[in-house]
Amino acid sequence: MANTKVTHEGTVVKAGKELVSVKIEVKSACSACHAKSMCAAHDMAEKIIEAVPAEEVGVGDSVVVEMEERFGLKAVFYVFFIPFMLMVAALFISAQFVSSEVFAALISLVILVPYFVILAFLKPYFAKTFVFVCRKP
Protein backbone atom coordinates (compact mmCIF):
# COMPACT_ATOMS: atom_id res chain seq x y z
CA MET A 1 0.00 0.00 0.00
CA ALA A 2 1.50 3.31 -1.09
CA ASN A 3 1.85 6.21 1.33
CA THR A 4 -0.75 8.64 0.05
CA LYS A 5 -0.11 12.26 0.97
CA VAL A 6 -2.57 15.10 1.46
CA THR A 7 -1.15 18.32 0.00
CA HIS A 8 -2.07 21.99 0.07
CA GLU A 9 -0.39 24.93 -1.59
CA GLY A 10 0.38 27.89 0.63
CA THR A 11 2.59 30.86 1.38
CA VAL A 12 5.18 31.08 4.15
CA VAL A 13 4.20 33.83 6.63
CA LYS A 14 6.83 33.14 9.30
CA ALA A 15 10.10 31.28 8.86
CA GLY A 16 12.30 29.65 11.47
CA LYS A 17 15.00 26.99 11.43
CA GLU A 18 12.90 24.10 12.69
CA LEU A 19 9.33 25.29 12.00
CA VAL A 20 7.65 27.56 9.49
CA SER A 21 4.14 28.98 9.53
CA VAL A 22 2.32 28.52 6.24
CA LYS A 23 -0.95 30.21 5.27
CA ILE A 24 -3.15 27.90 3.22
CA GLU A 25 -6.56 28.52 1.70
CA VAL A 26 -8.96 25.71 2.54
CA LYS A 27 -11.67 25.42 -0.09
CA SER A 28 -14.83 23.41 -0.04
CA ALA A 29 -15.57 21.10 -2.94
CA CYS A 30 -17.89 23.60 -4.56
CA SER A 31 -15.52 26.58 -4.38
CA ALA A 32 -14.42 25.99 -7.98
CA CYS A 33 -18.03 25.94 -9.22
CA HIS A 34 -19.07 28.70 -11.61
CA ALA A 35 -22.38 29.16 -9.79
CA LYS A 36 -20.82 29.73 -6.36
CA SER A 37 -21.71 33.43 -6.34
CA MET A 38 -25.40 32.48 -6.48
CA CYS A 39 -25.09 29.75 -3.87
CA ALA A 40 -24.80 30.08 -0.09
CA ALA A 41 -23.08 26.70 0.28
CA HIS A 42 -19.59 27.66 -0.94
CA ASP A 43 -16.92 28.03 1.68
CA MET A 44 -13.31 29.22 1.78
CA ALA A 45 -11.14 29.89 4.80
CA GLU A 46 -7.51 30.70 5.49
CA LYS A 47 -5.58 28.61 7.99
CA ILE A 48 -2.09 28.92 9.42
CA ILE A 49 -0.25 25.61 9.70
CA GLU A 50 3.09 25.00 11.37
CA ALA A 51 5.25 22.72 9.26
CA VAL A 52 8.77 21.32 9.22
CA PRO A 53 10.67 22.69 6.21
CA ALA A 54 12.22 20.00 3.99
CA GLU A 55 14.43 22.68 2.45
CA GLU A 56 15.27 26.30 3.19
CA VAL A 57 12.29 28.60 2.69
CA GLY A 58 11.71 32.27 3.40
CA VAL A 59 8.74 34.52 4.16
CA GLY A 60 6.58 34.96 1.06
CA ASP A 61 7.76 31.76 -0.64
CA SER A 62 5.15 29.53 -2.25
CA VAL A 63 5.31 26.05 -0.76
CA VAL A 64 3.43 22.77 -0.77
CA VAL A 65 2.43 21.48 2.68
CA GLU A 66 1.96 17.75 2.91
CA MET A 67 1.03 15.14 5.47
CA GLU A 68 0.57 11.41 5.14
CA GLU A 69 -3.09 10.47 4.77
CA ARG A 70 -2.86 7.88 7.53
CA PHE A 71 -2.19 10.67 10.03
CA GLY A 72 -5.42 12.38 9.00
CA LEU A 73 -7.34 9.16 9.57
CA LYS A 74 -5.65 8.76 12.94
CA ALA A 75 -6.70 12.30 13.90
CA VAL A 76 -10.31 11.56 12.91
CA PHE A 77 -10.16 8.47 15.12
CA TYR A 78 -9.03 10.49 18.17
CA VAL A 79 -11.29 13.50 17.65
CA PHE A 80 -14.51 11.94 16.34
CA PHE A 81 -14.67 8.15 16.72
CA ILE A 82 -13.47 7.76 20.32
CA PRO A 83 -15.66 10.62 21.67
CA PHE A 84 -18.68 9.20 19.83
CA MET A 85 -18.11 5.76 21.32
CA LEU A 86 -17.63 7.30 24.79
CA MET A 87 -20.91 9.18 24.46
CA VAL A 88 -22.86 6.12 23.30
CA ALA A 89 -21.39 3.93 26.04
CA ALA A 90 -22.04 6.56 28.71
CA LEU A 91 -25.60 7.01 27.47
CA PHE A 92 -26.43 3.32 27.62
CA ILE A 93 -24.71 2.78 30.97
CA SER A 94 -26.20 5.89 32.63
CA ALA A 95 -29.67 5.06 31.27
CA GLN A 96 -29.53 1.84 33.31
CA PHE A 97 -28.89 3.69 36.56
CA VAL A 98 -30.75 7.00 36.09
CA SER A 99 -34.51 7.31 35.69
CA SER A 100 -34.41 10.51 33.60
CA GLU A 101 -33.37 10.27 29.94
CA VAL A 102 -32.37 13.94 29.98
CA PHE A 103 -29.99 13.34 32.88
CA ALA A 104 -28.53 10.30 31.10
CA ALA A 105 -27.95 12.44 27.99
CA LEU A 106 -26.25 15.13 30.10
CA ILE A 107 -23.96 12.52 31.64
CA SER A 108 -23.01 11.29 28.18
CA LEU A 109 -22.08 14.86 27.19
CA VAL A 110 -20.20 15.61 30.40
CA ILE A 111 -18.08 12.47 29.93
CA LEU A 112 -16.45 14.25 26.95
CA VAL A 113 -14.95 17.00 29.13
CA PRO A 114 -12.28 14.82 30.77
CA TYR A 115 -11.54 13.17 27.43
CA PHE A 116 -10.82 16.47 25.69
CA VAL A 117 -8.84 17.72 28.72
CA ILE A 118 -6.67 14.61 28.39
CA LEU A 119 -6.25 15.34 24.66
CA ALA A 120 -5.20 18.90 25.53
CA PHE A 121 -2.50 17.56 27.88
CA LEU A 122 -1.33 15.20 25.13
CA LYS A 123 -0.95 18.04 22.63
CA PRO A 124 2.89 17.90 22.71
CA TYR A 125 2.71 14.19 21.83
CA PHE A 126 0.31 14.86 18.95
CA ALA A 127 2.47 17.75 17.72
CA LYS A 128 5.35 15.28 17.32
CA THR A 129 3.15 12.58 15.80
CA PHE A 130 1.14 14.62 13.28
CA VAL A 131 3.85 16.37 11.31
CA PHE A 132 3.31 18.60 8.29
CA VAL A 133 6.26 18.94 5.91
CA CYS A 134 6.63 21.85 3.50
CA ARG A 135 8.72 22.04 0.36
CA LYS A 136 8.96 24.30 -2.63
CA PRO A 137 6.80 23.21 -5.57
pLDDT reported for residue 31: 55
pLDDT reported for residue 67: 84
What confidence tier does 119 reach under pLDDT thresholds 50, 70, 90? very high
What confidence tier does 36 reach under pLDDT thresholds 50, 70, 90? low
Q: What is the mean pLDDT of residues 112-134?
A: 89
**What ranges do the domains of the chain cover?**
5-135
pLDDT reported for residue 110: 95
3-class secondary structure for the chain?
CCCCEEEEEEEEEEECCCCEEEEEEEECCCCCCCCHHHCCCCCEEEEEEEEEECCCCCCCCEEEEEEEHHHHHHHHHHHHHHHHHHHHHHHHHHHHHCCCHHHHHHHHHHCHHHHHHHHHHCHHHHHHHCCCEEECC
Q: Is the pLDDT of residue 2 over 80?
A: no
Long-range CB contacts (< 8 A, 24+ apart) of 69-73?
69/3, 69/4, 69/5, 69/6, 70/3, 70/4, 71/129, 71/130, 71/131, 72/6
Please check whether the domain covering 5-135 is classified as CATH 2.40.50.
yes
Q: Is the pLDDT of residue 42 over 80?
A: no
What confidence tier does 54 reach under pLDDT thresholds 50, 70, 90? confident
Percent of the chain with pLDDT over 70: 85
Q: What is the mean pLDDT of residues 95-110?
A: 93
Quote the mean pLDDT of the chain.
84
